[in-house]
Amino acid sequence: MMEDLIRLLHEGDHSLVVANGDVCTFDGRGVSDLYGLFKEDPGFLKGASIADKVVGKAAAALMILGGVKEVFTDIISRPALDLFARSEVRVGYGTAVPHIINRTETGWCPLETRCFDCFTPQDCFTQIEEFITLQSKK
């Protein structure tokens, strides 16, 4: 099953694939699709299998809070791995990196920075909500 999700992720050049009975593909940036799912259809994440291209600490927090069963990602940050280590989520990955970089490759991803000192997924969620609220006002 996970192999099929990974293949779909790469062959379709998607950013995220979520399977929980139905299989849904997403092409948004950052955590936008995962956040939208968590807010609008949290039941779909509960017990889901996910293939994702990049998972930082914010994405990890959303997956943990959503009750995701397993995830595979091409790239994962060490802070995300640390957060997953205190959860029930099974994690597979290609490469672990010290942190996720921003889109312009000039520094850290803003959500990785905001969530860096957070200990719990709920603490991360507070940072994610604040960030998304600020972005929507721009």
Q: Which domain holds residue 124?
A: 2-131
User: What integer is the mean pLDDT of 107-115?
Assistant: 97
pLDDT at 41: 93
CATH code for the domain in which residue 17 is found: 3.40.140.30
User: Is 138 inside a domain boundary?
Assistant: no
User: Is 58 inside a domain boundary?
Assistant: yes
Please state the pTM of the whole predicted model.
0.97
pLDDT in tens, 86-98: 999 999 999 999 9
Does residue 138 register a pLDDT over 90? no
User: Is 109 inside a domain boundary?
Assistant: yes
Does residue 136 register a pLDDT over 90? no
User: Is 137 inside a domain boundary?
Assistant: no
User: Is 136 inside a domain boundary?
Assistant: no
Confidence of residue 124 (pLDDT cuts 50, 70, 90): very high
pLDDT at 87: 97
Residue that wins the pLDDT comparison between 10 and 138: 10
Q: Is 72 exposed, middle or buried (0-12, 13-18, 19+ CB in 10 A)?
A: buried
Q: Do the Cβ atoms of 24 and 14 come closer than 8 Å? A: no
How far is it, in rounded angstroms, from Cα 38 to Cα 28?
14
Does residue 58 register a pLDDT over 90? yes
How far is it, in rounded angstroms, from Cα 134 to Cα 55?
22
Please, what is the average pLDDT of the chain?
96
User: Is 106 inside a domain boundary?
Assistant: yes
Total number of domains in the chain? 1
